A = this chain, B = another copy of it.
Amino acid sequence: MDPFVVVGGDAAGLSAASKCRRESDREVIVFERGQWISYAHCGTPYFVKGSVDRLTDLLSLSPAAAEERGIDLRRGHEVVSVDAEDRTVTVRTDDERFEQPYAELLVATGASAVTGPFDRGLDGVFSLHGLDDAAAIDAYLAAPEEYDPDRLGDGPVDRDRVDHNAALEPPDRAVIVGGGYVGVEMAEALTARGVDVHLYQRSAHLLVPFGTAVGEGVESELRDRGVTVHTDTEVDAVVGDGRVEAVRVDGDERPVDMALVGVGVEPNTALLDGTGVDRGPSGAIRTDEYGRTNLPAVYAAGDVATARHAVTGAETWVPLGLTANRAGRAVGSTVAGDPTPVGGVAGTAVVKAFDLECGRVGLVDTEAAAAAGFDPVSETITAGSRSGYYPGSEDTTVTLVADRTTGRTLGGAIVGRDRAAVRIDTLATAIGGGLTVAELERLDLAYAPPFSPVWDPILVAAKVVNGRLSE
């Protein structure tokens, strides 16, 4: 039998490979274009900030450990084409080019940062997608005489790029383009590194998928921490000769010596161009409940693939870490002979903005909920995180969205300073279980003065929304 071939050695790919090896004696080959495997994307802002000591602390599985699992790991191997008829892939390395037959193929090529018009090769302009970007930014932020290469750890980092950036004078003022996760997390990281940060967001609020209440809270927190936030403002271009000198905004040139572009990601689907593969939202590879594409024996998982939305049932594209790990693992089981659904995604996400914790799940935007065929009712409440008399209680703001017709919980968001993020899991579980808001209101949630008031903020929101539903 031909092997199970995986393209991409990160979350989805290695989860699939590991699971398949654990549950079968199939031959599993993983082709990874680069040198890094299995690293924590989400940790890179905290490496730049300095909370994580070494770049290699972000690796979750070493090549040696992957090989101990019986995975045939081939780094520096780029899969350049797929022949779905013949069930072969063409692989290119620095030295050779060869065909590899497969019994099943998993495309787990991930996503890349969108750089748009900003990718002009100027020094000081970065996006943050992967460990080499993180290492380069970290080096750029350090004064040449103070840069400590021990921060890199012992990994296959792009040393030329690091050395180049380490030799440059560190920036005084940075522009962040985009107020999504990366923008907000990097505002914290760059501030911690002593840079004067200006964040530009095209829309009216930061963290759009989290809704207005969270966006406003985060904007206020960022300002309090010294970040200059420009909403409703678009950055048109980066300006400079060799190194970035300014950004162009509304026809003005505003001087900066660093620009971080965080305007989103796009799925890496080029490998399947010309194969007739079906695509879904954002051009991601369309997959069914088992992660199968329309091509025979070709699966896709992780940031490159679509998924089923747990609330709408519709095809969606949500490139997030747990989704990638879980879908990869499910495909690994399926290939090993135990068909396993990849599961829906509820778009659960949490993000830290300095001391503020933010979470969201499901449908937060009522227009999106109406477009999906619901009759949404949305309420936003603020309640304490602990009993009012107990030290450390913090305002916790919850937005809760439900369907007027069925009473079903559709989505919600939360923001606060005290254990707010983890509370979104209550809503994620309610949505995963298909609970109505009336059922949510009756949940027996935990109460003790140090951790929660008698009525948890989620229950308070459920009470208010439920009251609206019975109007």
Residues of A within 8 A of B (CB): 11, 40, 42-43, 46, 51-52, 57-58, 60, 310, 320-323, 325-326, 341, 343-352, 357, 359, 361, 387-391, 419, 421-426, 428-430, 432-435, 439-440, 442-452, 454-456, 458
Contact = CB atoms under 8 A, between A and B. Distances in A.
Contact of A455 (B322, B345, B359, B440): B322
Contact of A422 (B42, B419, B442): B419
The 5 closest A-B pairs by CB, nearest first: A433-B433, A343-B442, A429-B429, A57-B389, A346-B444
Contacts of A357: 450-451
25 contacts: A42-B447, A42-B448, A46-B450, A52-B391, A58-B389, A60-B388, A310-B444, A320-B447, A349-B448, A350-B448, A352-B451, A357-B451, A419-B419, A421-B451, A425-B425, A426-B428, A428-B446, A429-B429, A429-B435, A429-B443, A432-B435, A432-B442, A432-B443, A433-B433, A433-B439
Contacts of A390: 43, 46, 51-52
A365 B144 CA distance: 60
Contacts of A435: 429, 432-433
A449 B322 contact: no
A390 B43 CA distance: 8
Nearest to A423: B422
A327 B5 CA distance: 58
Nearest to A424: B446
A421 B433 contact: no
Given A320-B447, A345-B444, A433-B435, 12 more contacts: A40-B389, A46-B389, A322-B447, A343-B442, A347-B444, A348-B444, A350-B446, A350-B447, A352-B451, A421-B451, A432-B435, A432-B439
Nearest to A40: B387
Contact of A445 (B42, B43, B322, B387): B322
A165 B365 CA distance: 58
A193 B90 CA distance: 72
Contacts of A439: 432-433
B446 A349 contact: yes
B425 A423 contact: yes
Nearest to A322: B447
Contacts of A343: 442, 444
Contacts of A387: 40, 42-43
Nearest to A318: B444
A442 B321 contact: no
A449 B44 CA distance: 10
B449 A422 contact: no
Q: Which of A320, A440, A443 has the most CB of B within 10 A?
A: A443
Nearest to A463: B329
A390 B430 CA distance: 28
A349 B449 CA distance: 11
Contacts of A322: 444-445, 447, 454-455
Q: Which of A58, A341, A442 has the most CB of B within 10 A?
A: A442
A400 to B, nearest CB: 14
Contacts of A320: 447
A444 B452 CA distance: 23
Q: Which of A310, A341, A423, A440 has the most CB of B within 10 A?
A: A423
A98 to B, nearest CB: 34
Contacts of A341: 442
A334 to B, nearest CB: 14
B456 A425 contact: yes
Contacts of A446: 348-350, 359, 361, 421-422, 424-425, 428
Q: Which of A349, A357, A445 has the most CB of B within 10 A?
A: A445
Given A40-B449, A42-B387, A58-B389, A426 B424 contact: no
Nearest to A362: B444
B432 A434 contact: no
